[in-house]
Chain A
Amino acid sequence: MAGEAGGCRSSGVLGVSALHQYALLFGMVLATVGFVLCLAVIARSLAATKEEGAKDVPAASGELSPEPVWVRYHVRYYGYALLFLAFDMEMAYMYPWAVVYRELGLVALLEMGVFLAILFLGLLYGWSQGALRRQ
């Protein structure tokens, strides 16, 4: 089981290669876009949009927002976002390890344990330094 996870599953349920599987997924993307285009065409054929003044003003609770609203948004969660990057990288190593874990047994647990403990200490350190709050 663990060995075949790295490559394509030649004995897959559909009996097709990995390339075919991804081609099918790509086909699904195209079909979704086509479906939405069909909806757009149907909706336009039912009724056209009337041009009327002030109809296209975005909702702003009765007051016009400054235009454009694409100003610099203060991402107050940037402390979390930086930690997120570290953990995200770590998870990329975690998946291959998870697949072969039962084959390797205790050795794998110790090796990944050290790795995770360092990361977890990093999380605790960030917490102690005030990274885990709204900046």
Chain B
Amino acid sequence: MSFLPVVLALLAGAYLVAVLEGWVSTGRFRPAGPILSGLALLGQESLVPRTPDRIFFEAGPVLLLTSALLASAVLPLGPGVVIVDLATGALFVNAALVYVMVALVMSGWGPDAAYAMVGGFRFLGQLVGYSMPIVMVIAAVAMRAESLATTEVVESQAALWNALYQPVGFVVFMAAAMALCFLPPFDLPTAPGELAGGVVAEYTGWRLAVLRLARAVLVVTVAAAVTVFFLGGWHGPVLPPWAWSAVKTLAVAAGMLAAGRYVPRVREEHLLAWWWKLGIPLALLNIFVVGIMLVTVGG
């Protein structure tokens, strides 16, 4: 049973991502920062707005955490080190991560607050943009692996990483992954400085702690998905398999966090136009190119 090591690795990763995110956004490196702010949030009052949709308000953060954890359950850390090795793993990652959108719309609708609601509906629009490229790129990955099981996907990259075999798909997937984690420049639902925090604006105390934990776990999960689908998962010389997975996942997470620093936030209509006029055609092209390469030169 590899349940405990995977969950511990995930929590450690979420902690490191929280440290990294603080470093990137404030410019100060504080290794103990997440512990301190977590304890502070636990001691803080957790207010409920005056006329909430109570079920949505309470369920939003929990659903966000659940969807990130479920997606991580099918991503292998090493050969055999995976919580459930589903035959439909690659599809399951998609299915679980769609609930990120549901969670954000729920926590946007729940508090009966204008900024939060705008944030929630914006993320619904964002999903319409990033979701199709993710699904198409993963289809191209499954074509090469001849399987949807994530362990088979990693095995298929033993000779050559997918990032090199299908670079177009890799670039599209990285951008879509950032949009999925609502990291800058795709942080439309939270939009600090514009929506006053958006969907997280009405959360305080322990509820905010759950929301922040969920976001950090989501970033780690999506970075792990990039590693599994494109960077050869646990494959690598010298170091043990789990270490390679960890190094690659953290590198991807750091790259996603750092990239957002240098790009301004994209407006919703521009975001959708870019995804549909460039992202989806590129993802379809990627499927065609991979299809032709598999027939002519092989995997």
- Chain A interface residues toward B at CB < 8 A: 1-2, 4-9, 12-14, 18, 21-22, 24-25, 28-29, 32-33, 36, 39-40, 42-43, 46-47, 49-50, 55-61, 65, 67-70, 73, 75-77, 80-81, 83-84, 87-88, 91, 94-95, 98-103, 105-106, 108-109, 112-113, 116, 120, 123, 127, 132-134
Contact = CB atoms under 8 A, between A and B. Distances in A.
Given A21-B84, A95-B91, A77 B73 contact: no
Given A21-B85, A43-B206, 16 more contacts: A1-B146, A1-B147, A28-B70, A29-B66, A49-B45, A60-B113, A75-B121, A80-B125, A80-B129, A95-B91, A98-B142, A99-B143, A101-B143, A101-B146, A102-B143, A127-B277
Given A46-B42, A99-B142, A56 B115 contact: no
Given A24-B83, A59-B113, A80-B129, A132 B273 contact: yes
B255 interface: no
Interface residues of B, number: 83
B109 A132 contact: no
Nearest to B151: A13
Interface string B208-222: 011000000000000
Given A58-B202, A98-B139, A132-B277, A87 B132 contact: yes
Contact of A83 (B62, B196, B202, B276): B276
A68 B51 contact: yes
B56 to A, nearest CB: 11
Q: Which of A29, A33, A99, A123 lies at the interface centre, i.e. has the most chain B CB atoms within 10 A of its CB?
A: A99
Contacts of A94: 135-136, 139
A32 B117 contact: no
A12 B85 contact: yes
Nearest to A77: B125
Nearest to A74: B121
B247 interface: no
A59 B196 contact: yes
Interface string B251-294: 00000000000000000110011001100110010011001101
Contacts of A5: 87-88, 146-149
A58 B277 contact: no
A15 B187 CA distance: 41
Contacts of B112: 58, 67-70
Contacts of B151: 13
A99 B205 contact: no
A18 B84 CA distance: 9
Given A49-B45, A59-B196, A132-B276, A102 B206 contact: no
In the A-B complex, the 7 residue pairs with the closest CB atoms: A58-B113, A43-B206, A134-B269, A21-B84, A98-B142, A77-B125, A56-B50
Contacts of A105: 295
Contact of A98 (B47, B66, B143, B295): B143
A98 B85 contact: no
B178 interface: no
A112 to B, nearest CB: 8
A36 B65 contact: yes
B171 interface: no
